[in-house]
Structure 1
C-alpha cells in the first residue's frame, strides 16, 4: 500500500504555488530579514553561492533542503547568480506582517535576468548591458533587430534586407539576452558565446499588439514619429521586447527614451570580425583592458562618458560635419589645459545620472541613490563654469563673450545648460547627510522639512524632558513633591507614590494601576496619551518618512527628462575631454577629414603598441594612398611589423572619424564608409569550420560587401592551405580587389608570397612596400621602417633561429632553402608569365601548374658517418679503468682529433676543455 502524499505546511504550499509560476528562475522568498530558497533552488543556490545548505523539518517526511541570504545584502548574491547566467525571481511580502491575519501575502515583484539588470552591483559602470530581440521574415527577406539598455532607457534598432547583415550585428552588439520567435533557429555561422537566448511564443511578435504596446509606452499616436512606420519586422521585435520587460519587471516601462532608429548611412560600419581583429574592445585572447584600443583612449571620468565612448567606438561618424564638430571641441580642450583640468575635476563629483534617474522612475531607488543624485546636481555649476575658464576673452566676468568664443558643440552645451537648482535645493533641504541603505528604517529627513515629522522628531529627541515636564506639573498641582514617574514593560509609564506620602489623597484623575506593599502606582489620561505618543513615535516616524520619501521620489521622477538631458550633456563633455586629454598626453595631432578617398599619414603610430612599448621605442611610419596607388602589397619577414602597420592605418581612420586626435604628426583622412579586416584566423570547432574555411568566409564577405569608400586590410590570405593553392587564391583576390569599383578600393594586403609582387606595374593601382631589415654578421635587425618596393626574401629561417628553434633544425632548413632558391628564378619567370587577364578557375590552375613545375627536387638529408671516437667510447667500461688508464685514453683520443667526419660538438667542447 502506497504512503500518503506528504502534506506541506501552508508556507511551503504558498512557496510551491509561486515557484510554479516561475519554473526557470531561482525564487528568492522573503521571510522576515532573509530571502529563503527551498528544494532544488536551495541546492543550486548553495552550490553556486558557496553558502550553507540546511534542511527544514529535518528527520521527518516533510524535510526540505533550504538556504538563505540576508535581505539587506541580497544584491551581491543576486549579482553572482546573474553573472553565472541564472534568472532570479524576487518574492516579497506584499502586506505588513503585523497587520496580516494568518499567512503573510507574498508575490513576485520582479524577475531579474541577465538583460534586465538595474543594480550597479551587477552592471559595469562604463559599459552597456543589452537586452535584444529580433524578428526575421523569411517571406520577404526583411528582418528587424532591436536592443535596449534598460538601466539607462536607451533603445534603438536596425532593419536589414540580408540575413547575413542581421547576424553580423547580433554578434557585434553581443547582448546579454536575445529574444527569438518560437521555432526560429540561429544561423550556424553566428557565434553567440555568453548570450542567453530565449524563444518566445509567436503571439508575442504579433504586429498589431506590438504596435499598440510601442505607441502606448512611447506616448505617441503614430509610428512615423518613431520612424517605425512601414518597418513591420522592427515593430514586431520592439513589441516582443516590451512585452518581456513588462512580464519580468511587472511595472510600466515608460522610463524608456524615445526609440531611435540607427541610421547606418551616416555611420562608419565595423563588423564584429573587424572589431575583434583590431582588438577594439577585447584582445584576441579574449581579455579586456590593457592591450585594447578602448583602454588607450578611455580617460572618461563619468559612467555616461564611458558609455558614449563605447558607442562611438562601435559606429563612428561617416559624415564629415559631425566629426569636425567634435574635433573643434576636442581641440579647444586640448589647447586650454586649465579649462580641461577644471572640467575633469568638476566631473569627478558627477555620478551615473542616467541609471540613478531610471531607478528613481521605476521605484527601485535606495536613499543612497538620492544622496548620489544630490551630490551630482550640486556639482553642475562647477562643470559649466569650467568651460568658461579660458583666456580667449580678457574679461573673465563677461559670460556672454566667453560663451561666444567657444566652439559650436561647447557653445550649444552652455546655452542649453540646466543647473536644476530647484531639485538641488529640495534635496538639500529634505534629506540628511548620511542616509541608511533602505527606506523602511526611517532617519531620512531633516528637521524643518515637514511639520508633522518635526513634531515626531521633537517627541523622540525630547521624550524624557516631556515626561519631566508633566511630572513637575502634577507635583505642583497636587502639592506632593514625592510623586515620581517610573516605567516597566508590563505597565508602561506610571506615577508612583508611597502610602506614607499620601497616595490615598490623590485626585480622582489618577487611576490606580498596581498596588505593592509600600507604594501605589497610578496613571492619568495625559500620561497615557504621552506614553502612547512616545512608544509609537519611532514607528510613526518610519511610516511618515516612508510616505514622504515616496512623495519626494515621485517629484524627482517627474524631472527625469531634465536629468536625462543633463546626462547626455555630461556624457558629451566627458567624451570631448577624454579625447583631448589622451591626445595631449600622447602627442597626437588633429587629422584633416577630406571628402575624397585619399589617405596620407605622416609618422603614424599604432596607439596600442605605442602605449605598451613607449613612444621612444616605437618607430613611426608614413603611408599614403591616392588615385593612382590604391592597393599596397606589403611584404617583409615575420616580426618585422606588417600586421602593426595594417592595424595602425585602420585604427587611425577609426579614431579620426570619432572626432579624436590621431597618433601621427600629420594626417589627411578620406572618409571611410566600411572598415574590413582579415587579420589572423582560428578554427571554429563548434561549427566544424577550419582555419582556412574561416579565412575564406571572411574574404568572401569583404569581396561581396566592399564599396569604393571602404578601407580593407588583409593579412596573409591563403596561408591556411597548401603553398600552391595559397598563392593562387591570394593572386586572384589581389586581382579582384584591384579591378573592383573601377580600381578605387583602398586596400592594404600583407603577404609572404613574393610571387604577388610581380603584379606591381601590371595592375595600374597596385604598388609594393616592405618592412626594412638589416643583415649583419649572419644576423638580422628589424628596423620596423616602411620603405618602397618588395622585400628580397622572407627571412623565415633567421626568424626561426631568433625564436629559439634548435640549431640542427635551423641548419637543415638552410640547406633545404638553398636547394629551393636554385629554382627561384624559374619560379619568378613562371609567375610573371601568367596572364593577368586569365579568368576564373583556368587562371588558378595555370598558376598552380607553372609554379609546381618550377620547384626543384629536394634531396633528403644525408646520413651522418660514424666517427672513430664513437666506436672507442662504445668499447669503454668506465668503472673498470684507473685514472692513469683514463689519461692514456684521452691522449689517444687527441691523436684522432681532426679525422673525418667532424667530431660532434659536445665531444669537441669536452676535448677543448
Structure 2
C-alpha cells in the first residue's frame, strides 16, 4: 500500500484538476516543476531531461521535468508558440513567513492568443485572439482582441461554402488562437485548425449575448454599445464578450487598457478574400517561403512596431470612399514633397519603442523597469515630432498630431523614479533612482555601509590575528562567518566561536560580526521589499495614463505609415493615382511592385486600359513565361495600393474605385478535404461568378486547364460570355488563356479586346519581350519553355517533331484564312528591314511649330504614304 500524496502534491492535483487541458508549471523552490503527462510534453518539446520522483496516485513512478524559475519565460514562450496552453501555479506567500507548507495558487494562464510579455511575443505584428459565436441565419459573429495592445474589433461571416468568409477573416488577421463555445460542432473548429489556428473550447455561458453585452458595457464604462457600431449584431457582441472574459480569466486581471471596440464591416472596405490575399501575396508568400515576396514586405519600411502593424491593417482592408482615399493620398504626397521633414521624422522614430504594447503591460501590471525607461525616452521625442509639421500640413497629418500628447507628467515621473540604465526585471532591484524616496535612500546607505564595514572588518582581523588568508564569507544557512584554513588554525584567538567545520578548515563568528550581520540582513531585506513596493505603486500610478499613451502610439503609427509610403514612392519612382468613382482603370507604364525589386534586369512596364462599360474584358494570349501572370497581378496590386492610399508603380494611373478583387491564379489542390485541383478551381470560379459586380476587378489565369481541352475551352468561353453579359457594364476582367479559339470573341462581344505578349522569334530561339500589345497569338512556345527548364534535349527535340507533325496535319487541307494578329518580331539578321518613308518623315517633324490644320493635313499625307499610296 502506497502512502498518500504529500501536501505539496495535493496542491498540484487540485490546480491540475482545474486546468486538465494545460501544461501546469508548479513552483517548488527555485524551479517550476511539471509532472506526469505534462512532464513528458515538456521534456519532448523543450529537449529537457525527463526524470522520475515519488509515486503518482496509482503507485507508479511520477515523471518529472523542471526548469529554473528565473529562466521560465523562454521555455514557456516556446511551448505557447507551439500551440500549448501553460498554467503558472506560483507561491503566493513568502516562504520565510509561511507557517507549514507554502500556499500556492494559479496566478496566470498563458495561451497562444493572450500573450502580453515582450519576451514571449514572436514579432511586432498584431497578436489576435479570435472568438467565434453563432448568430442567426447561419452567420457567425467574430471578435478579434490583441491583449498586448488593447486593439479590439468585431466582424461577421457566413457559414456558406465551407466557411469561406470566416476563412478569409482568418487569413486577413492571422489569429494565434480561436475560442468557440463548448457545445459548438466540430466542422468549423476543424477548419480553423487546418489553417494553423489552435482552437480552445470555452464555456457556453461566456457566449451568452445578454451577459456579453453587460460585460462589455462594464469594461468600457458605458450603458450601451450603440456608439461602437455593433447594434443589431448579437453574434458579434457574444463573441466580443467571450473574448474579453477569456482574456481576463487567463490574465487574472481586469485588463483596463482594453477600453473600446470597433466594428469592421465589408461595406466600408474593399473585400479581399483568402484566395485573393494568397494569390496576390499581400501579406504572405504564395508558397510559404518567408515574407520577402509580399506586397507588405515591399511597402513596409516603417520605423516603429506601431507603424508596421498599421501598414498591415491598411493593406488587408483598402478603402472604398473616394474622400477617405484622397485624404490618405494627401498625407503621403505631403511627405513625398517634403523630403527633409520626412527624413527627420523617420530619424526621430528610429529609436521609438513599442509604446502601445508597453501601455498594455502597464495596465496588466507586469511592465519591467526597462519598459518604463524606453517609454520615457520615446515620449520625450513627441515634442520634437510635433515641431516638424507646419500649419498647412494635410488633414490626416493634423488629425494624428492632435491625437498625440507630450505626456510631460509621465516622462517627469518616470525620469525622477527610474535610473537611466535599469535592470530588465524589477526583482533584480536597483531600478529606483536615488533621491526619489528618502526611506529607500536611507536603507540603501545602510546596506552599502554595512558591506563596507564587512570589508574593513576582514582587513582588521587579518592584521590583528596575523592570519593573512582569513576571509569573511556569507551563506544563507550560517549568515556571515570568518573562515580560517587548517594551516592557520593555531593562530585563531580564543574569542572566536566555531560554527562549522569544512574540508579545508573551520568557520567562526564573534559577537560584533553577529550584530552587524543582523543589521545588514535586515537592511537588505527591507531595501528589497521597499523598492519593489515603490515600483509597484509607480506602475499602478501610470495605469491612469494608459489610454492617452495608446492614442499617442496609434497616431505615431499613422505618421510612420504615411512617411513610409512616401519613402517607398520616392525610392522606386511611384506616382500618385487619380481616384475616380467610375468603371475605368488606366495605367501607363505599370510595374509589379515586388517583382521589379528582384529582377537582375530592368522591369518592362506595360499599359492597361479597362472600362466596365467599354473595354471590359482583356483576353490575353501569349507564350508561356511571357509575363501574363505578373502583368495581371501588377494591375490588381496597383488598384489595391491606390485604395490603400499609396502611390503606385506607374508613370500614370487613373483608378476607378474597385469594390472587390477576385483572382483565380495557379493550380492548387485541397487534398485534406478530398478536393482535386480542378474542383478547387471550379469552386473559386463559382465564387467569382456569383459575387462579382460591375465595380469589381477579376483576374482569371488559365481557366479550364485542369480538365480535357474540349471541356476546358467550353468552360472558359462560357465564363467570358457570362461576365460580358451580366449587364450593360460588367466587372473589369483580365483573362489569360492558352485556348486560342477564345480570341474570336472579340468579334462577337463588343466589350472584349484581344491582347498578347510579344516575342522575338529568331527562327532557332525565342526571346520573351514582356510587352503587352493589341491582338492575339496562336502559339504558346511550350517546348521552348521546357528546354529552358532543363528538360532533357532528347525529350524537347522529340516534342518539336511531334509539334511539327501535328501542325502539318492541321494545315494539310489547303490554305486557310489567318485567324490571328500576333506581331512576330523577326531577327533583323535574317531579313533586312527597310524603314517606311512615312516613319522617316515623322521623326523629323516638330509638332510645336505646326498649326492644327497643318498637323491634320500632314497626318493624312503620312497615312497615305504608310499605306503605299502615291502622293497626289
Q: TM-score, normalised by structure 1?
A: 0.80
- How far is 1:338 from its partner? 1.7
Partner Cα distance (1:650, 1:331) in 2: 22
Partner Cα distance (1:577, 1:680) in 2: 35
- Give the aligned partner of residue 328 of structure 2: 326
Contact 1:130 1:147 in 2 (8 A): yes
- Give the aligned partner of residue 176 of structure 2: 176
- Give the aligned partner of residue 501 of structure 2: none
Q: Measured at CA, do residues 724 and 431 of structure 1 come closer, stay the same or move farther in structure 2, by a change above 3 Å?
A: same
Contact 2:2 2:59 in 1 (8 A): no
Contact 1:189 1:687 in 2 (8 A): no
- How far is 1:824 from its partner? 5.1
Q: Measured at CA, do residues 826 and 98 of structure 1 come closer, stay the same or move farther in structure 2, by a change above 3 Å?
A: farther
1:298-377 equivalences in 2 (<5 Å): 298-377=300-379
- Give the aligned partner of residue 450 of structure 1: 437
- Give the aligned partner of residue 65 of structure 1: 63
Partner Cα distance (2:497, 2:170) in 1: 78
- Give the aligned partner of residue 128 of structure 1: 126
Contact 1:296 1:608 in 2 (8 A): yes
Unmatched 5+ stretches in structure 1: 389-402, 470-485, 495-511, 834-913
1:29-68 equivalences in 2 (<5 Å): 29-57=26-54, 63-68=61-66
Q: Measured at CA, do residues 34 and 792 of structure 1 come closer, stay the same or move farther in structure 2, by a change above 3 Å?
A: same
Partner Cα distance (1:217, 1:801) in 2: 66
Partner Cα distance (2:45, 2:117) in 1: 20
Partner Cα distance (2:316, 2:510) in 1: 79
Q: Measured at CA, do residues 91 and 762 of structure 1 come closer, stay the same or move farther in structure 2, by a change above 3 Å?
A: same
- Give the aligned partner of residue 616 of structure 2: 630
1:147-162 equivalences in 2 (<5 Å): 147-160=144-157
Contact 1:132 1:147 in 2 (8 A): yes
Work out whether 1:743 is the aligned partner of 2:729: yes
- How far is 1:279 from its partner? 1.1
- Give the aligned partner of residue 85 of structure 1: 83
- Give the aligned partner of residue 186 of structure 2: 185
Q: Deviations over 1:590-615 (max 9, x none)?
A: 1111111101111111111101015x
Partner Cα distance (1:827, 1:347) in 2: 73
3-state SS, counterpart of residue 144 of structure 1: strand
Work out whether 1:619 is the aligned partner of 2:604: yes
- Give the aligned partner of residue 422 of structure 1: 409
Partner Cα distance (1:765, 1:464) in 2: 90
More deviation, 121-130/620-629:
121-130
- How far is 1:521 from its partner? 8.3
Partner Cα distance (1:410, 1:136) in 2: 40
- Give the aligned partner of residue 144 of structure 1: 141
- How far is 1:309 from its partner? 0.7
- How far is 1:829 from its partner? 13
3-state SS, counterpart of residue 748 of structure 2: coil
1:223-238 equivalences in 2 (<5 Å): 223-238=225-240
- Give the aligned partner of residue 219 of structure 1: 221
Contact 1:374 1:427 in 2 (8 A): yes
Contact 2:403 2:555 in 1 (8 A): no
Partner Cα distance (2:70, 2:815) in 1: 79
- Give the aligned partner of residue 695 of structure 1: 681
- Give the aligned partner of residue 20 of structure 1: 17
Q: Measured at CA, do residues 759 and 523 of structure 1 come closer, stay the same or move farther in structure 2, by a change above 3 Å?
A: closer
- How far is 1:533 from its partner? 4.5
Q: Deviations over 1:290-320 (max 9, x none)?
A: 1111111110111110000111111111112
Work out whether 1:793 is the aligned partner of 2:801: no
- Give the aligned partner of residue 432 of structure 1: 419
Contact 2:213 2:238 in 1 (8 A): yes
Q: Deviations over 1:195-236 (max 9, x none)?
A: 112233433322222222121122211121222322111112
2:711 equivalent among 717, 722, 725? 725
Partner Cα distance (1:633, 1:802) in 2: 26
- Give the aligned partner of residue 872 of structure 1: none
3-state SS, counterpart of residue 648 of structure 2: coil
Contact 2:269 2:317 in 1 (8 A): yes
3-state SS, counterpart of residue 564 of structure 1: helix
Contact 1:88 1:111 in 2 (8 A): yes
3-state SS, counterpart of residue 405 of structure 1: coil
Contact 1:513 1:523 in 2 (8 A): no
Partner Cα distance (1:231, 1:83) in 2: 32
3-state SS, counterpart of residue 749 of structure 1: strand
- How far is 1:87 from its partner? 0.9
Partner Cα distance (2:767, 2:700) in 1: 25
3-state SS, counterpart of residue 617 of structure 1: coil
- How far is 1:819 from its partner? 4.2
More deviation, 711-720/369-378:
369-378
Contact 1:281 1:288 in 2 (8 A): no
Q: Measured at CA, do residues 531 and 87 of structure 1 come closer, stay the same or move farther in structure 2, by a change above 3 Å?
A: closer
Unmatched 5+ stretches in structure 2: 457-470, 483-494, 499-508, 820-872
Q: Measured at CA, do residues 663 and 535 of structure 1 come closer, stay the same or move farther in structure 2, by a change above 3 Å?
A: same
- Give the aligned partner of residue 886 of structure 1: none
Partner Cα distance (1:128, 1:417) in 2: 21
Q: Measured at CA, do residues 791 and 449 of structure 1 come closer, stay the same or move farther in structure 2, by a change above 3 Å?
A: same
- How far is 1:767 from its partner? 0.4
Contact 2:193 2:199 in 1 (8 A): no
3-state SS, counterpart of residue 426 of structure 2: coil
2:399 equivalent among 366, 388, 412? 412
Partner Cα distance (1:320, 1:89) in 2: 49
- Give the aligned partner of residue 260 of structure 1: 262
- How far is 1:336 from its partner? 2.2
- How far is 1:125 from its partner? 3.2
- How far is 1:21 from its partner? 1.4
Contact 1:758 1:832 in 2 (8 A): no
- Give the aligned partner of residue 671 of structure 2: 685
Q: Which structure has the greater CA radius of gyration?
A: 1
Contact 1:126 1:305 in 2 (8 A): no
More deviation, 207-216/778-787:
207-216
Contact 1:430 1:445 in 2 (8 A): yes
Q: Deviations over 1:770-790 (max 9, x none)?
A: 000010032111000010011
- Give the aligned partner of residue 590 of structure 1: 576
Work out whether 1:773 is the aligned partner of 2:770: no
Partner Cα distance (2:362, 2:328) in 1: 32
Q: Deviations over 1:328-356 (max 9, x none)?
A: 22122222222111111110121111111
- How far is 1:449 from its partner? 0.6
Partner Cα distance (2:88, 2:260) in 1: 29
More deviation, 440-449/602-611:
440-449
Contact 2:257 2:547 in 1 (8 A): no
3-state SS, counterpart of residue 74 of structure 1: helix
Q: Deviations over 1:672-704 (max 9, x none)?
A: 111110001211110000000000000000011
Q: Measured at CA, do residues 350 and 522 of structure 1 come closer, stay the same or move farther in structure 2, by a change above 3 Å?
A: closer
Q: Deviations over 1:881-902 (max 9, x none)?
A: xxxxxxxxxxxxxxxxxxxxxx
Q: Measured at CA, do residues 33 and 372 of structure 1 come closer, stay the same or move farther in structure 2, by a change above 3 Å?
A: farther
Q: Deviations over 1:555-585 (max 9, x none)?
A: 1111001100110111001111111111111
- How far is 1:467 from its partner? 11
More deviation, 619-628/558-567:
619-628
2:113 equivalent among 112, 115, 125? 115
- Give the aligned partner of residue 828 of structure 2: none
- Give the aligned partner of residue 625 of structure 2: 639
More deviation, 576-585/53-62:
53-62
Q: Measured at CA, do residues 513 and 812 of structure 1 come closer, stay the same or move farther in structure 2, by a change above 3 Å?
A: closer
Contact 1:174 1:192 in 2 (8 A): no
Partner Cα distance (2:403, 2:375) in 1: 20
Contact 1:513 1:522 in 2 (8 A): no
Contact 2:76 2:86 in 1 (8 A): yes
Contact 2:228 2:261 in 1 (8 A): yes
Partner Cα distance (2:100, 2:195) in 1: 48
1:381 equivalent among 360, 380, 383? 383
1:266-281 equivalences in 2 (<5 Å): 266-281=268-283
